[in-house]
Amino acid sequence: MNPTYFLFFIYIIVCTLIITYWAAKRSKTTNWFYIASGTLTGFQNGMAIAGDFISAASFLGIVGMIALRGFDGFLYSIGFLVSYLVVLFLIAEPVHRLGKYSLGDVICSRFPSKKMRLIMAICTFMISILYMMPQLVASGFLLRLLLNIDYSISVIVIGGLMTIYVVLGGMIATSWVQIVKTILLMSGTFLLSLITFAHFNWNLATFMDRVKTGTPIGEQFFLPGNLFDHSLEFLSLQLALVLGTAGLPHILIRLLTVRNTLEVRRSLISSTWIIGLFYFMTLILGLGAVAILGYDSLMAADPTGNLAAPLLAKAVGGDFLLAFVSAIAFTTIVAVVAGLVISSTTAFSHDIFHHILRRGKSTEKEQLKAARWSAFAIGLVSTLFSLRLETINVTFLVSMTFIVAASSMFPVLLLTIYWKRFTEVGAIAGMFSGLAASLFFVVFGPYIMNPTDGWIAKEAPFSLYNPGIVTIPIGFLGAYLGTIFSRNQAQSLTEFKQFYIQAQTGIVSRGEEKWKA
């Protein structure tokens, strides 16, 4: 075990636990526990959103993707960035005005039924768990690589930390862990980018020439076609990434942690700038990795490319910079997983326990107790699942998360807010059809049926690795058909005007007080 690596990890753990201890003193009510009582500023929340969104797949995976796949690898990150424009223009402000603690509140403000709230909670829980497991697996491999700790122990350490953050500190602890993660990530990535560029005497032409000589395909490295052989595959991937973010519960509930819609806009604009700058720096790091280390060395070290950033850090800065970059990757995983746990916890304790089991009559103390126990249970379940995934290729879980969110959650949110004829039956049909289509096409696709045969499937019934171009229209079609064939369209039309006014202005009609400004 390298003592430099160990000291960096201990420092990160101690700092985040101090934040949790401070937050635990404030998380005494459900308002504080679920949404930090709306006390975050737009810029703070923007950093937290960026910290919640930039996962290990983004930090480690995108750098490796650019290093191995060039132009296509960078376009992979563009989908993540563009997705925030969809959230900003279509989803963000209505979610803030209609929601209280969860996405179930948003949908149930138009379709107030226990059935609808239960379905939203289950979908939230499923998306969060699917996204959580690959993060935990990545943390297990990272700690095993750097500290020579057994994989199982590594996963248990990360799972235990994320559970402590949420159980004790709730949303306020999770938010500040994500803010600290964003500061470390941006500063570390910026430092590594400067050192990498300085390695070529700040000469862009020399840098690009070394990139071309470092890869076996030369000029083709800067042209499309290195990731997927068919443009339909890439279009499908981009569609899932762009629309999937607008359906991720752990991102959308962050819109409830600020006081008004002005701060919502500031949150998303800030996060978009941060994420955009981050992906620009990953371009430098990815190209720098192949220029300095060479394509063959990267493939020999790790064919997936996930070690490109740590290997580059060691090559240009030695053990100290490698320890710093690895500690950033560790913080990235912890922050993202904590955000996923808090979204799952809110769905269970607020939607299921408070509204369904206790019919809205539970006390503050009972709700907090249920929230902390559910956080503990969710952390335990996801950790136990991740322990069994050491030898399984879990790449498909990340893409599946975006596919499920884009095919089920996004169509229901969009149509609930904007389609006046939309009904509860349509919402349920859209949710189930999108979810079922996502599971079906992924299970019978090349990730599961033919996971080791390169980019082209020869045995899988469906050849698309990213079937979003099929499953997303199925989700919308299910919602449309469910609405057309339901019987209560007239009732939905009469209630939509009141709902739409509240979604766009925050004003509840009929002389009632404003729910949210």
Q: What CATH number corresponds to the domain at position 8?
A: 1.20.1730.10
- Residue range of the domain that includes 242: 3-505
Quote the tokens at residue 224: 């499309």
> What CA–CA distances, in Å, run from 337 to 134, 331, 353, 514?
10, 10, 23, 34
What is the Cα–Cα distance from 408 to 124, expressed in whole angstroms?
10
Eight-class DSSP state of 219: G
pTM: 0.90
**Does 514 fall in a domain?**
no
Name which of 261, 244, 262, 269 is nearest 50 in CA terms. 269
pLDDT at 396: 59
User: Residue 39 falls within a domain, yes or no?
Assistant: yes
CA-to-CA distance for 106 and 110, rounded, in angstroms? 8
Return the H-helix or E-strand segment holding 77: helix 71-86
pLDDT of residue 517: 37
Token digits of residue 229: 């052989």
- Rounded Cα distance between 135 and 118, Å, is 26
**Nearest Cα residue to 430 out of 372, 479, 379, 365:** 479
Supply 45's token pair: 């929340």
Q: Has residue 111 been placed in a domain?
A: yes
Task: Please report, as a single letter, which amino acid is at residue 87.
Answer: V
What are the structure tokens assigned to 241, written together?
Answer: 């990434």
Q: Tally Cβ neighbours within 10 Å of residue 189.
A: 24
Give the rounded distance of the alpha carbon of 318 from its chain centre.
31
Terminal alpha carbon distance of the chain: 54
How many other CB atoms are found less than 10 A from the CB of residue 18?
10
- The confidence score (pLDDT) of residue 155 equals 85
pLDDT at 138: 75
Tokens of 391: 């030898």
Asked whether residue 517 is domain-assigned, the answer is no
For residue 313, which of 197, 195, 411 has the smallest C-alpha distance? 195
CB 83 within 8 A of CB 244: yes
The reported pLDDT for the residue numbered 509 is: 61
Give the pLDDT of residue 490.
61
**Residues 114 and 428 sit within 8 Å (Cβ to Cβ):** no
Q: Give the torsion sign (CA, 492, 493, 498, 500).
A: positive
Report how far residue 444's alpha carbon sits from residue 354's, in angstroms, rounded to the nearest whole number: 38
Low-confidence ranges of the chain (pLDDT < 50): 453-457, 511-517
Cβ contact 261:165 at 8 Å: no
Domain membership of residue 515 (yes or no) is no
The domain tally of the chain equals 1
Is 511 within the bounds of a domain?
no
The rounded distance, in Å, linking the Cα atoms of 67 and 237 is 19
pLDDT for residue 207: 93
Helices (H), 148-248: 151-164, 170-198, 204-214, 231-244
> Does 512 reside within a domain?
no
What is the chain's length?
Answer: 517
- Please state the φ and ψ torsions of residue 475, each to the nearest 5 degrees: -60, -45
Q: What is the largest CA-CA distance in the chain?
A: 71
**What is the Cα–Cα distance from 189 to 39, expressed in whole angstroms?**
29
Residue 276 CA to residue 515 CA, distance in Å, equals: 34
Task: Determine, yes or no, domain membership for 513.
Answer: no
